[in-house]
Structure 1
Amino acid sequence: WREWRSPSLIIVWLALSLAVACVLALGSISDRMEKGLSQQSREFMAGDRTLQSSREVPKAWLEEARKRGLNVGEQLTFATMTFAGDTPQLASVKAVDSVYPMYGELQTRPDGVKPQPGSVLLAPRLMALLNLKTGDTIDVGDVTLRIAGEVVQEPDSGFNPFQMAPRLMMNMADVAKTGAIQPGSRVMWRYKFGGTPQQLAGYESWLLPQLKPEHRWYGLEQDDGALGKSLERSQQFLLLSALLTLLLAVAAVAVAMSHYCRSRYDLVAILKTLGAGRAQLRKLIIGQWLMVLGLSAVTGGAIGLLFENILLVLLKPVLPADLPPASLWPWLWALGAMTVISLLVGLRPYRLLLATQPLRVLRRDVVARVWPLKIYLPVACAVVVALLAGLMGGSMLLWAVLAGAVILALLCGLVGWMLLNVLRGMTLTSLPLRLAVSRLLRQPWSTL
């Protein structure tokens, strides 16, 4: 416990605690936002997956989905002329079954109305163009249907600037009666599927080999709409934030731990002159290391929860009202990141500390030659890149950030090397400055 009086060890503890706190806070918010976005996204799509086709798909495909426990909904969209008496108006017809909407809410006026067989729902613009009201009738092709209400908002309407015709929503059972679907008609079938990720993955692996060019299978991540692109951008932003947090944590812990170990060279040298063996020193160092990690996990976790609540308050205007709770993954991610970071950047300094020679008591310039920095640094960087690529799936954003970091590091190293050469050629009259410059020039790799 006497070591905790050392400012260097406190800096190491604070650096690890902040690394845990930042990763935990950002990971928890990312996890909660991803869950919230995924939950809302299926409401905007009215399903977990969509199969789009220009013609009706085989019934066996839908039966297979139902056998696997999936909910299946059918939609058919086409354009046709509607008539109110002698007044014609082009309408964009959307035929749905009783499952619609699988997720989300169909907002109608009056509330809770769905298109039943023999009835339709009209967009307010269509009712105004045809001068109709709820309870009137409208001719759609060869059939006359009763207007049950107005369509205020569809959960899966999206944004289509080319859809100029107002909406008419009808029941799938009335499509054949209209006679509007003829050979060569331009129609679009959409089949909505809902279920667990395991059920969807199993059905997807069964279905994909059978799809033809006229078929398109997609979820929100593959959706070309504005919502799909928004979700993709938000995921990239969270990924970038997590990546930058990890890189900054690695740099902070590396600097703090190296400084602490350098400040303890003399202590280890004195202990060795007094008869301390490598086993005793190793036990002391590892015990101290585990104590720092344990304390950093506790304090970092508490600070991380505080950071999370502060960020939630600051981001409240742009976040959904009710975010689902985070899973255990952010905790595992934070503790795992702390362990990996401490091992990666602390192994060499502690190895140097353990290899300190007793001669350092008399000569302070004696430094152990273990794991040269010009070899250890590229290896450590390669390990960091491999771990990040494995955890984040080799995203292009990851490689772009890493490439930018490498270029920036090379530029900074080049500037530092040029400054060292300038210092080497300068003649300094002040003794403190000469000693400081001599120390910088003695170990250029450590300086850079």
Structure 2
Amino acid sequence: MRSSQLIRLTLKQSRSDLRTFEWRALLLALFLATTLASFLTLLGNQLEKGLNRQSALMLGADLSLSDSQPIPASLLTAASEQGLQHSNVIQFSTMVSTDEQMLLSSVRAVASPYPLRGEIVTQPPQSTRIPAQGTAWAEQQLLERLGISVGETITLGYSQLKITAAVISSPDRGTGFRSFSPQLLINRQDLAATRVIQPGSRIGYRTLFSGPEQQIRDFHARLQQALTPQQRLWSVYEDQPLASGAMQNASGFLRMTSLFGILLCGLLITLSLRRYSSAQYRRSALLQSLGMKPRQILQLYLIKLLLGWLLAALIGVIASLLLLQLTGSVLQPLLPSGLPSPDYRLTATGPLLSLALLLAIGYSPLLQISRIPVMGLLRHDQLSHQGLSWPVRLVILFLSGAVIALYLGSVTHALAATLLSVITILLAGLCASLLLPPAGRLLARRFRLGRLLSYRIHQQRQWHRVQLGIMCLLLTLLCSLLISQTELVNRWRAQLPVNTPNQFVINIQPWELQPLSQFLTDSGIETDLYPMIRGRITAINGQPPERVLDQDQLENNALKRELNLSWLAKAPAHNELVSGSWWPMDTQENLISVEQQLAANLGLKLGDKITFEVGGDSFSATISNTRKVEWRSFRPNFYMIFSPGVLQNYPQTYITSFRLSDKQVGLSRELLKRFPSLTLIDVSQWINQASELIDRLIQASTLILGITLCAGIVLVQLLVSQELEQRRHENALLQVLGSTAAQTRQLDILEFALLGCASGAMAAVLTEIITGLISYRLLDLPLLLHPWIWLILPLTGMLLFTLAALISHRHSGYRQLQQS
């Protein structure tokens, strides 16, 4: 047969196959695989870029380099050569005053362009992005504490500046406690006239960079290699203190969602190809009887599959772009600056993925079709499905795993997903052979149709193994995705709970403890006050650190600076004791509690003796326990906490934190009037920005979860419809033998209810295993058990497959076949 004749025959058969359920199911599977893969890839790219940009709004740039000295001009030249935009910021703490009040403020001297990402929101709105010369913009809390309003004048050093706007929100607040003080923005041209910067002044110099992601990453790597000890580097892609963990989890959730979507579509392609190939055995035998060779039949079906893939991929790409536009309009308000455009080159991901899955999974069934003997036209047993040999199955698994690995960019995740899928189907098939026959015999005694159900279970036992395995994996994937997203949301919310402190008070003197505690108690604020002393580590087990630590450990920042030290009789309630035990309240020993991560980094263990230097004096303490500290809790936390009596004779100050509600905004002004020597640090604006970012992550992950669950439900519906299509002739025969249409429908519904219940029970077991692996390996979440799924999943499986069976009976043309 010539090539032109083969192609004409392929086109003719493709048109006729469109009337068959098996071919339509395969095209739908390819369509869903293309649509889901393209859509999730584009949306994931769009959200990741958008959330990175949202994170950049907090930083004010893509990259921020801070130093105690002016940034060298050579770095700015290098940034310009790489096409990066930059802006210099000078920040320092100083007193601002009016005729009646004085206040310690953090001053930011800026010049255009500033900020490089985001914008400063002011009231009233301003026509310029930074203050004009001779003017200043002040945060609302600074105005409240000075008792002035917009339009009045303040004194900064030797200059007087007019307040022209109140700052509602602003990116780039800087780092350290200086960033939390009430802030004042001035034009850098006014800085020299203030004369507040003198030799010896503690000044922070910060340079912001922005530009394309790859250039920023390259420049970040370059700066990282040349950092001096006093320099700090922050990147929106790697080093955001709060956002980095949340962004990493969100990225992991996107990858996991894409992986589950691939597995769902791969399962449906496998099932559809199996059904389609079984339906083509007689046609293949007929073609061979007409003179076609097995090689030509294989070519015929390969071309047919490629044509079907091309049609499904084209429609799938269009559908994914339309779906992206629809979700984009929904997500657009979630990010203040809107969603960026995705990389549309990633649109090809879906078609290529569905093609790779089709070829990896489909070549072996097509090979079997081409080898059906001609005797199949006369003997039905020659048309039976020949099981795949184990080498062939391993090749298919390897190819499928390779496709997933290329899509995810992770061999580990692809290998884990492939192995888990195979194990799930094998376990479900084993449970099917063990559980379904006894269940059928039990129903045979109680229901009129039970005997027929028991016979069908026995008749379909081989197919039920595959079917039940796929149903179980579908439920497991959907439930695992739902649980992981729920736990991820809870983890994000736990980073900033509702009662997160938004005020810090430092420089509390010992004689102010009692009146300050009374003032806070009378104001309805419950808080703890912690003593604080600055000290430096000088020895470990009697040896200098450089003799007992390796080079990487010596680079730890805790050894290069003074640490905040404290002492407590009781363990802090917001710290978790990891190892060792807390000391008795009346202990006279020099004991110390060390933060867990610092102990791990320095190789410290229980019983080690650490020597400190405070104010020229040295003393030692023995490690009694280690603690897990959540640094993002906005509560006073310390690397080192001593037993009482070790530090009490040294001069100390105290620190505390608490939360002020919107109704208590005037309390901070009253506090500073009563205790003018205190330093009150308001972190509410930073918390609001971080909370906003977390809300965006939650909303985005919920949307992706919903779309994936909808796709999973469609796949379940198609799976049931496919199976019911095989029951049509059997049910018509039952009706000829005396059964009514209602009875055969009840038989199908009873069968699928039993299958759904069994698959749900097994899915509960596997869900616990998979969510445990996801939590531990992918999302870095604690391991939890979910007892409720042991009841919910069997009921959900029964309800889901029963509803799918009812819907399929209504719309599949089943009644018309019965009546015929």
TM-score normalised over the length of structure 2: 0.48
Are 1:287 and 2:303 an aligned pair?
yes
Match of 1:188 in 2: 204
The residue type paired with residue 280 of structure 2 is R
Which deviates more, 404-413 or 54-63?
404-413
Match of 2:102 in 1: 88
Residue deviations 1:368-414 (CA, integer Å, cap 9, x gap): 86851x3334443343344433443439xx83x97477447535523
Tell me if structure 1 keeps the 8 A contact 2:269–2:358: yes
Distance 1:418 1:203, change over 3 A: closer
Distance 2:110 2:219 in 1: 23
Cα offset, 1:333, TM superposition: 1.1
Are 1:53 and 2:70 an aligned pair?
no
Q: Which runs of 5+ in 1 are unaligned?
A: none
Distance 1:149 1:426 in 2: 79
Match of 1:413 in 2: 426
Sequence identity (%): 23
Which deviates more, 376-385 or 404-413?
404-413
Are 1:214 and 2:230 an aligned pair?
yes
SS at match of 2:18: helix
The residue type paired with residue 391 of structure 2 is I
Match of 1:145 in 2: 160
Distance 1:125 1:375, change over 3 A: same
Residue deviations 1:72-106 (CA, integer Å, cap 9, x gap): 11123232222223632111222222322223322
Match of 1:300 among 287, 292, 316: 316
The residue type paired with residue 184 of structure 2 is L
Distance 1:315 1:377, change over 3 A: farther
Q: What is the total number of aligned residue pairs between the two structures?
A: 442
Cα offset, 1:234, TM superposition: 3.9
Match of 2:171 in 1: 156
SS at match of 2:29: helix
Report which structure shows greater RCO (CA 8 Å, sep ≥6).
1
Q: Which runs of 5+ in 2 are unaligned?
A: 1-14, 445-450, 470-820
Match of 1:27 among 24, 32, 41: 41
Distance 1:192 1:230, change over 3 A: same
Match of 1:355 in 2: 371
SS at match of 1:218: strand
Which deviates more, 312-321 or 128-137?
312-321
Tell me if structure 1 keeps the 8 A contact 2:432–2:468: no
Match of 1:270 in 2: 286
Tell me if structure 2 keeps the 8 A contact 1:135–1:148: yes
Distance 1:377 1:214 in 2: 59
Distance 1:359 1:297 in 2: 37
Distance 1:242 1:132, change over 3 A: same
Distance 1:190 1:159 in 2: 8
Cα offset, 1:192, TM superposition: 0.5
Distance 1:431 1:408, change over 3 A: same
Residue deviations 1:113-167 (CA, integer Å, cap 9, x gap): 5335554322232233223455654333x42231242342344156989655311
Residue deviations 1:199-219 (CA, integer Å, cap 9, x gap): 434534443321134333332
Match of 1:203 in 2: 219
Note the 1:429-440 alignment, pairs <5 A: 437=458, 440=461
Distance 1:93 1:388, change over 3 A: farther
Distance 2:180 2:18 in 1: 72
TM-score normalised over the length of structure 1: 0.82
CA-based RMSD of the aligned residues comes to 3.8
Match of 1:178 among 179, 190, 195: 195
Residue deviations 1:323-355 (CA, integer Å, cap 9, x gap): 444443342011111211111111111111112
Distance 1:199 1:164, change over 3 A: closer
Tell me if structure 2 keeps the 8 A contact 1:54–1:189: yes
Tell me if structure 1 keeps the 8 A contact 2:357–2:403: no
The residue type paired with residue 328 of structure 1 is Y
Tell me if structure 1 keeps the 8 A contact 2:237–2:244: yes
SS at match of 1:5: coil
Distance 2:340 2:299 in 1: 44
Distance 2:328 2:29 in 1: 23
Distance 1:351 1:112, change over 3 A: same
SS at match of 1:188: strand
Tell me if structure 2 keeps the 8 A contact 1:133–1:147: no
SS at match of 1:262: helix
Tell me if structure 1 keeps the 8 A contact 2:298–2:369: no
Are 1:250 and 2:271 an aligned pair?
no
Distance 1:198 1:334 in 2: 25
The residue type paired with residue 265 of structure 2 is A
Cα offset, 1:268, TM superposition: 1.1
